[in-house]
Structure 1
Amino acid sequence: MDKYRELINIFSEVLEKSKDYHIAYIYQVGYVSLIGLLSKEEQNASMIVDEIFSSPESMAESLLRNWRWQWFYEHKELLPRKDYDDIRKLDSDLPDNLQEQYRQNISDWQNKIQNILRKQS
């Protein structure tokens, strides 16, 4: 399994929860992130390509950002800010009661990502 597929595999549950962030493979382009609602039953006129991944590292960074958004939505009522222009700002805004859990979760994701990225191709 290549590194892109391995990253998709470890983030599969997060991707399933995500309503407007998707990963796709486009022939002659490669892996991309898509933003917008995706439905098999309806036309998907609002779907746009957000990022074309030039490397597994860039995909990993995008997947981790998406995980942060999912975490934010799940804990939104407990957080001081109700929206972000850059989700990475969440790291410094966490209330004390959520810091340990969040930092442990993000550390676990970073370790999983590093294990995949370190593998020889």
Structure 2
Amino acid sequence: MDKYKELISIFSDILEKSKNYHIAYIYQVGYVSLIGLLNKEEEQNLSMIVDEIFSSPECMAESLLRNWRWQWFYDNKDLLPRKDYDNICQLDYEVPDCLKEQYKQVMLSWQDKIQAVLQEES
């Protein structure tokens, strides 16, 4: 399995949970992230744009981690000081003390999984 597919596989639960972030493969372009709404029951998109074209598995991994942060933010929004972010990576520095250890453990777990994929021989 190539590194892109492996990354998609390890983030599959997060991707399934995402309402407006999707990964797709576009012929002659490669893997991309799509932002927009998808009606999964009717398998029809309502409105989507290409957000990012992944030039490497590392770029895809960074994007997938940002998406995980957004999911974590939405799950814990009531406990967080901010109600929105321009750059979701700022969340790393603003997690309340009561959630810091959990956040750190989950983030380290994702980083370990990503490193395992990226360090594999092709």
Say whether the fold is shared (TM-score over 0.5).
yes
CA contact (8 A) 2:7 2:117 kept: yes
Cα distance in 2 between the residues matched to 1:98 and 1:104: 10
Aligned equivalents of 1:115, 1:99: Cα separation in 2: 24
The 5-angstrom pairing of residues 63-102 of structure 1 reads 63-102=64-103
Q: Take 1:45 and 1:15, find their aligned partners in 2: how far apart are those partners?
A: 18
Tell me what 1:15 maps to: 15
TM-score after normalising by structure 2: 0.96
In structure 2, the gaps of 5 or more residues are none
Distance 1:45 1:13 in 2: 22
Which structure has the highest strand share of the two? 2
The offset of 1:39, in angstroms, is: 1.9
Maintained 8 Å contact 2:31/2:54: yes
The 5-angstrom pairing of residues 105-116 of structure 1 reads: 105-116=106-117
Alpha-carbon RMSD across the aligned residues, in angstroms, is 1.1
Report the secondary structure of 2:81's partner residue: coil
One-letter code aligned to 2:96: P
Q: Which whole-Å CA distance do the structure 1 matches of 2:32 and 2:95 have between them? A: 30
Partners of 1:106 and 1:43 lie apart in 2 by 33
CA distance in 1, matches of 2:44, 2:25: 19
Give me the whole-angstrom Cα distance separating, in 1, the residues matched to 2:44 and 2:102: 39
How does the TM-score come out when normalised to structure 1?
Answer: 0.96
**CA distance, structure 1, for counterparts of residue 101 and residue 63 of structure 2:** 23
Q: Distance in 2 between matches of 1:33 and 1:18?
A: 12
Q: Which amino acid aligns with 2:119?
A: R
Partner of 1:50: 51
2:38 and 2:46 in contact (8 A); partners too: no
Identity of matched residues, %: 75
How far 1:44 sits from its partner (Å)? 2.7
Number of equivalences: 121
